[in-house]
Amino acid sequence: MDGNRQLSSRAAGRAAWPRLMALSSAILLACLALALTAQTPRPYDLLLRGARIVDGTGSPWYRGDLAIAGDTIAAMAPRIEAPASRVIDASGLVVSPGFIDIHTHARRGIFDVPTADNYTRQGVTTIFEGPDGGSPVPLRPFMEKLTATKLAPNFGMFVGQGSIREKVIGSVDRKATPAEIDQMRRLVREGMRDGAFGLTTGLFYVPGIFTPTDEVIELAKEAGALGGIHVSHMRNEAAGVLDSVRETIAVGERGGLPTQITHHKIIGTGNWGRSVDTLRLVDEARARGVDVTIDQYPYTASSTGIQALFPPWALGGGQAEVAKRLRDPAERARIKSAVIENIKYDRGGGDPKNVTIASCAWDPSLAGRNLTEITRARGQEPTLENAAETVLSIVERGGAQGIFHAIAGQDLERILRHPVTMVGSDGEVPIFGRAAPHPRSYGTFARVLAVYVREKGLLTLEEAVRKMSSAPASRLRLPDRGVLRPGMKADIAVFDPARVKDKATFENPHQYAEGFACVLVNGQVIYENGAMTTARPGRVLYGPAYQPVSPATAPHR
């Protein structure tokens, strides 16, 4: 028994050694693991699992996981095993960079709807304002107001040549003096230092319309010297479109800066087909080294003030001057015959029914009705003459926003296919349900994916995404957005390529796009499962010459 005990005790002793060894190595391993955990990054905040990754560069999609830490893409790999606070199963879905809208009028509405649902619900994560020559001047107070507003998307600005000219010499039809040009140059530099990404022109509008090309070039040089680009709503998008493309190219070529034809289109039935020539001019300019590009929205109707049907000369001096001209019978007759011409051959698309009112402050009931209907309601036959008279009376009473169906689908498609064309909405941030805005505000990006990728096969998915992400990002020299790659900001759209769809129509524009599973801005989910979240991670983006005000010059608060 004793022996047995001894034996068993010795046996127990021999058996205890491996157990002790195992225990101590387990403790050692645990310590090592703890030490490793302390050194490796914390678990990811979010993991998108098993997605079809369309990275924004135009490269073919590939399957993989994407992990986010904070506001940044932390890892991308075929399979990421490290733990994440949250995992989203993205199998069957496309994960792409969030879309960047280089041309919006978002200050119409952004302070009412800081989540910009119409944009964010179609994957847009960054919007740019200050288009067509129109921006606040100075820019800084507006940028500060944006910063103080909690936005869902990121927001960047251009400074507008028209607004600068307006401020310096008013909306009059004359050349600027050398002293005035100096003053305007100074305001361009100020705009760039306030954070603009460049200078926009709207040479179709008052007062841009009164600006000679040479004056535009003098101002563009200032923006270019500070790293900015030039973006132009051209002087003429109808019969004079070729000369206007030449002018936009000249601003880039002689001003020494990148130049962009914005919302490129060919207006007026008699001009349809000329995109062949406008694109040839762009190709020729690029071949000789001019950095010219294009943006476009995917609709065959444009939208702007109804006075776009007026001749330029009739619009100088502001509303009071315009009203005065309309009271003079001879002037009125001249304006009217020009409006008739513009309905026939230009923005009117050849028929008063092609012009619809989008919104009207003094009579909201006009929204959604066309010139034929409104003319009939005035008790007149909808002849060209009477429709022109309707336009005159609308402008006399304060004007209205119009929609103009005067673009050919063939030109649209030819321009969209061109490799230097990117997508921009030219939209705004509508108040949901109010007025009858152009559907581009709700549908531009989803429409490119639904109609021009899936239905028509005009673009590959990868190419369409490139036109909405890395193309505008490189145009604007955004170093950390527009492409999915570790280290880039996590602005991301997750969508079903088979279901993505623009729902907004001209008849019923207030409809959000469908098919987006979630949208992220700076790493945070802003939209998910058909609803906005409470996150407001949008940032104000600053251009290349931005200078924060130094404490010495900052005003006391």
Residues that bind Zn ion (CB under 5 A): 132, 233
Task: Choose between 193 and 233: whose C-beta lies nearer to Zn ion.
Answer: 233
Say how far apart CA 404 and CA 238 lie, in whole Å.
13
Q: Is the dihedral of CA 459, 460, 463, 465 positive or negative?
A: positive
Nearest approach, Cβ of residue 105 and Zn ion (Å): 8
Task: Choose between 193 and 440: whose C-beta lies nearer to Zn ion.
Answer: 440
Nearest approach, Cβ of residue 127 and Zn ion (Å): 15
Q: Which amino acid is at 201?
A: T
- What string of DSSP letters covers 449-513? IIIIIIIS-SS-HHHHHHHHTHHHHHHTT-TTSSS--TTSB--EEEE-TTT-B----SSS-----
Task: Choose between 302 and 470: whose C-beta lies nearer to Zn ion.
Answer: 302
Tokens read off for 317: 């001096």
H or E, element range at 524: strand 524-528
- Which residue minimizes CB distance to Zn ion? 233
Say how far apart CA 380 and CA 292 lie, in whole Å.
47
Task: Choose between 117 and 132: whose C-beta lies nearer to Zn ion.
Answer: 132
H or E, element range at 62: strand 62-69
Nearest approach, Cβ of residue 249 and Zn ion (Å): 18
E-strand spans in 181-313?
198-202, 229-233, 259-261, 292-296, 301-305
Nearest approach, Cβ of residue 132 and Zn ion (Å): 4
Please choose, from the candidates 157, 154, 197, the residue with its C-alpha nearest in 3D space to the C-alpha of residue 539: 154
Task: Choose between 95 and 308: whose C-beta lies nearer to Zn ion.
Answer: 308
Nearest approach, Cβ of residue 164 and Zn ion (Å): 17
Nearest approach, Cβ of residue 324 and Zn ion (Å): 27
Q: Is residue 374 within 8 Å of residue 358, measured between CB atoms? A: no
* Residue 497 preceded by cis peptide, ω within 30: no
Nearest approach, Cβ of residue 118 and Zn ion (Å): 18
Task: Choose between 131 and 153: whose C-beta lies nearer to Zn ion.
Answer: 131
Say how far apart CA 403 and CA 305 lie, in whole Å.
8
Q: Which amino acid is at 383?
A: T
Please choose, from the candidates 123, 406, 129, the residue with its C-alpha nearest in 3D space to the C-alpha of residue 262: 129
Could you identify the residue written with the tokens 């893409």?
Answer: 73
Nearest approach, Cβ of residue 52 and Zn ion (Å): 35
Nearest approach, Cβ of residue 304 and Zn ion (Å): 7
Nearest approach, Cβ of residue 380 and Zn ion (Å): 31
Dmax (CA) for the chain in angstroms is 133
Task: Choose between 76 and 308: whose C-beta lies nearer to Zn ion.
Answer: 308
Count H helices and E strands in the chain, helices first.
16, 21
What length is written for the chain?
557
